Structure 1
Amino acid sequence: MCTQYELIFFPSDSLNATDFLVRLKGQRLIFVGDSLNRNMWQSLVCILRHSVENKDRVYEAARRRKFKLTGYYSIIFEDYKCSIEYVRSTYLVRGLHDDERLRLDLMDETTKAYREADIVVFNTGHWWTHEKPSKGVDYYQEGDNVYPLLKVMEAYKRALTTWASWVDKYINFNRTQVVFRGYSPTHYRGRQWKSGGQCYKETEPIFNETFLSKYPPKMRAFEEVMEQMKAPVTYLNISRLTDYRKDGHPSVYRKTYNTVREQIAGEKSPDCSHWCLPGIPDTWNELLYASLLLNGRGSWMP
């Protein structure tokens, strides 16, 4: 996962990887959410692994080498007896029948995997733009009630309210630090994903602020929910700074094409949502590191 990354990775002055691992000794840091949080998880694993002299003592718990096939991964840093983990939970709330319907009032069944972690970094947002959630027709459910039609932002806020209630009730804040990472903007020109939208041949960030997207409504919804929480949640609001980097996506280069036909097909559905590594998620992790130090709890005290 990290070999190619480390060939071009330059250590950051903003994230002292050795210090991060020393402070994390004996602990579990878990990323919970969609594939953008997997992006962030991969970034942090590679940054920290780069600082370890014996790379053989950093490994996935089940010795897996491919990281897009299942919903749970745990990278062990044996010298520090700590782990950096990823739990796939795209909506945080519970999908029914292979996500044919979404229960807005119940948490996803993955909660046991991270309830007693030392640090949990949550996110959700990316999948709410897909067809079924965005249309909201016979898709959202609370109790026995299936809504014939529910607007996606209302559903999103209800899901976040369920998440917030669960965090307030079940997380032991004497042990666990909770972080919520904000929405990561996409950069599809013209149309959306799989509809002809493009970020191909983008080579520079946005320099003119008038071309930035409007502040994501999803983040306003989260901020309203967060204000009602009892729990001390750290909010990594990365939306604005990330929006500048239209040049940072894998685009058509997310995989190797074996034929011209494959390349032509790939150019019709570029990835303008996720991020290249090294890249933007490294900055998110620098902010995570700074936030943990700023909060100064437990081993993160100055």
Structure 2
Amino acid sequence: MLPNYDCNESSKLQTEPIQCNIDADHQVEVCPPLSTPENAILSTHISVYGTRVTVSCLKRYKFKGDINSTEITCLGQQGWTENITDCSADRCSPVPLLHSATPNTTRAVNGTTVIFTCNPGYISPSGDTTQIITCLGGIWHNLKALKECLAVNCGIPPAVQHAFWTDGINTSYEHSVTYHCLTGFWFSRANYTHTIQCSADGMWTPVAKTCTAIKCMPLSLADGLIVSSENTTVHSVVNASCGRAENGTDHLLTCLKTGNWYPEPPMCTNNHGRRIQLVPVEADHSRIYGLISISTISVIWFLIFVSDVKSLYHHLRGFHK
């Protein structure tokens, strides 16, 4: 390195250059001139033997390996102790935000790999559930390929017999469809609608039910009620009465689309106001016919018995002879 001189106040620096006379055997060794790396500064541009140069990255830039600065030394004819690379940004721009996916980290420093996972009910355009970008040299690699995830679509809902749904349905994730049974049908008693929803796996849940014809409750015979028909479908009309009960008048009952009889079936009671059991009506002369049948059967069995006894008697007599 060249020496520095400071003159006293009463002295003046000689402007003529000082020249060293060096013979061929004592030449000063120098290194190749240094060029300033990108986004860095040098502590000096002197390149004679033994010179130490500090190379520092500018603010928000670093060497590879997350290093802010490094020092090199001139070894004369052997050159510098190491080659200097450019400084690169120590971080990338903020991690992108996606409405349909969640990153595993928000760090944006060099070397960071960010994995975006599609939210439930969404899938990436490539069909995967994850997308990856990496921060290298202050630049996000694979950023152009990063896309919003697509909502899962369950497709057209299954058809349900005797039911319909409103037009303009949305078949994507978390949207629902409501079935309405046609007039005269229901899913279950007093239940005329059924809702299904598009789930994260692309399936409609729960499984669509079936609309069945509305029927009224069967008119019970336990209360002594006599009906003209067992029909329980909507709009059917049944003649009901209490038979021999005290209030044994006829009632016309209609099965409504609500599944109820109108008017309400009568409650059959006896003379004491108690519910009665249905008593079967016997046919005319049924007791006489019954006695005749029993007598006839008894006579037949008696004749068979007598015949068997006579046969046995003759058989025994022949045996003794």
**Shorter-chain-normalised TM-score: which range?**
under 0.3
Q: Which has the higher contact order (CA 8 A, sep 6+)?
A: 1
Q: TM-score w.r.t. structure 1 length?
A: 0.14
Q: Which has the higher strand share?
A: 2
Q: Which has the higher helix share?
A: 1
Q: TM-score w.r.t. structure 2 length?
A: 0.14
